[in-house]
A = this chain, B = another copy of it.
Amino acid sequence: MTMLTIALPKGALLEETIRRFQAVGIDFSAFQDSSNRQLQIEDPSGRTRGLLVRAQDVPVYVEYGQAQLGIVGYDVLREKHPQVAHLADLSFGDCRLSVAVKADSPYRSALDLPPHSRVASKFINCARDYFQDIDLPVDIVPLYGSVELGPITGMSEAIVDLVSTGRTLRENNLMELEVLYHSTARLIAHPLSYRLNVDGLGNVIEALRQSSLVPASVN
């Protein structure tokens, strides 16, 4: 019997991800030690292994079967369309993918944007699909970070980016025009491992589903 391996996302979702696993008896809190440099650890029970990877890499490890289970934002699933089983909405890590423009621009909806506007985004597939759906031809400018610089520098009329509190938009004098979709943390699994219920996968999934029905404030 191999060891159940779970891919955990670095960044905004990590803290609550670790809490959810603790609630079902799997302890990956060592990933939060500032002294920890390990990206692969075993839970103290020795029955489960955790991989700490970039959020975008979580579905890759799960798709290739190197992790049987993973937690990742819906935004990553929408952008990359990985071949994984999408099992549950864990109802944390709320954010939304939105179109935003300069606050002093005359645009009040995405359809107000001039055809062939430039739209900067890290989510090039989501952005392309959205503007195709509303039949507005735009030039998507792929960026890796600090997408808000697009309108500030004048490189792009608009951006498509994740918004949680809206603070980054406000600080950069940007205004949300449209919401493409809302995103939360999702539980994903390697399809074959899930079907064959390897390493007691089904029990862990069921426990995580149950614990995600409990309001976070009660935990």
Contact = CB atoms under 8 A, between A and B. Distances in A.
Contact of A56 (B53, B144, B149, B152): B144
A60 B142 contact: yes
Contact of A153 (B40, B144, B154): B40
A46 interface: no
A146 B60 CA distance: 13
Contact of A145 (B57, B141, B146): B57
B143 A57 contact: yes
Interface in A1-32: 5, 10
B66 A155 contact: yes
Interface residues of A, number: 25
Interface in A162-182: none
A143 B57 CA distance: 6
Nearest to A55: B144
Interface string A50-75: 01011011001100101000000000
A50 B110 CA distance: 30
B155 A64 contact: yes
Given A53-B146, A54-B146, A146-B53, A60 B141 contact: yes
Contacts of A64: 118, 141, 155
Contact of A144 (B54, B143, B146, B155): B54
Contacts of A61: 153, 155
A39 interface: yes
A200 to B, nearest CB: 20
Given A54-B144, A57-B143, A143-B57, A154 B66 contact: yes
B149 A40 contact: yes
A152 B146 CA distance: 32
Top 5 nearest A-B pairs by Cβ distance?
A54-B145, A66-B155, A54-B144, A56-B144, A66-B153
